[in-house]
Structure 1
Amino acid sequence: MRTLNDLGLFILRLGIGVIMIVHGWDKLFVKGPTGVAGFFGSLDMPQPELFAWIATLTELFGGLALVIGLLTRLASLGIGLVIGGAIYYVHAANGFFNTDGGYEYQLLLCAASAALLFTGAGRWSLDQMLFGRNKKDTTVDSSSTTVTYSTQPQAQTTDIPATPTQ
């Protein structure tokens, strides 16, 4: 079951990541930062040049981070915020449905980003390889102040605390 969960997270990361990379690439190399800033300015967005760069780099590098599963929660947060801005500034006034320029598609991207923010990347990721729990498990014995660090799972034992003296 856990393998299927990890496969699902991998597919979600890959799908959202590729979409964001293409959007970031388009902003950087097709429309260009000046074109994106001009569009943002036409929406009365404050500091359109700054937000053009933030959106472009977040989409490009955040998408790449999702594909490889590196800093997945941070990338998901950034992507969710950028797409939330797109909903607010571009799509909300057009209603819900995507066919009318609405926010339906962007809401789906935000929901997927939120799912990755809360679940993390899964086992098939650089996050797991670099920061995973299996690298160093920590167990705390509640009957004492002993903390044990290991690289292997520990067998669970039940200690009976001593009877308190008065």
Structure 2
Amino acid sequence: MTDRLSAYAPQALAVLRIVAALLFVLHGTQKLLGFPAAEFAPPVFSIFWFAAIIEIVTGVLIGVGFFTRAAAFIASGTMAVAYWMVHAPGNLFPTNNGGDAAILFCFLFLFLVFAGPGRWAVNEK
């Protein structure tokens, strides 16, 4: 049974990559474009504005599987910075400070740095 499931690991990795990238892009579009509905619009060239740009660009690259490892490395670092600069100062516990998504994105993208994109990637290898 395990061998049969393991045969689909590259496809499962690709689905994880694509879904995570779509969610990541939504975080960027929420900040930058107000879609889906956002509570605030960051001023141009502010740290939140740059974060939105990084989220959209790296999210698209990761989603299509183009320079996945490099994009995932940048996205992972961005989420680490987001957690420690924005979420952790309010409360160290992610469930209390709203930083659970940032931590999950950080480690998921860090995993992609080492695992690669899986199947269905523009520059698959």
| CA distance 1:74–1:19, shift in 2 (3 Å) | same
Partner residue of 1:95? 92
1:41-52 map, 5 Å: 49-52=45-48
Given the two structures, how large is their TM-score scaled by the length of structure 2?
A: 0.79
2:21 aligned residue (17, 20, 29): 17
Residues 40-79 of structure 1 aligned to structure 2 (within 5 Å): 49-79=45-75
Q: Quick one: higher RCO (CA 8 Å, sep 6+), 1 or 2?
A: 2
Give unmatched runs, 5+ long, in structure 1: 39-48, 133-166
- Give the equivalent residue in structure 1 for 2:10: 6
The number of aligned residues is 116
The 1:3–1:68 alpha-carbon spacing in structure 2 relative to 1, beyond 3 Å, is farther
Q: Which has the larger radius of gyration?
A: 1
CA distance in structure 1 between the aligned counterparts of 2:110 and 2:19, rounded to whole angstroms: 14
Q: In 2, distance between residues paired with 1:59 and 1:122?
A: 21
* Contact in 1 for aligned 2:32/2:41 (Cα 8 Å): no
Q: Offset of 1:51 from its aligned partner? A: 2.9
What aligned pairs does 1:1-166 form with structure 2 within 5 A after superposition? 3-30=7-34, 35-37=41-43, 49-93=45-89, 94-98=91-95, 100-128=96-124, 132=125
Does the CA contact (< 8 Å) of 2:13 and 2:118 recur in 1?
yes
Structure 2 gaps of 5+ residues are: none
CA RMSD, Structure 1 to Structure 2 (Å) = 2.2
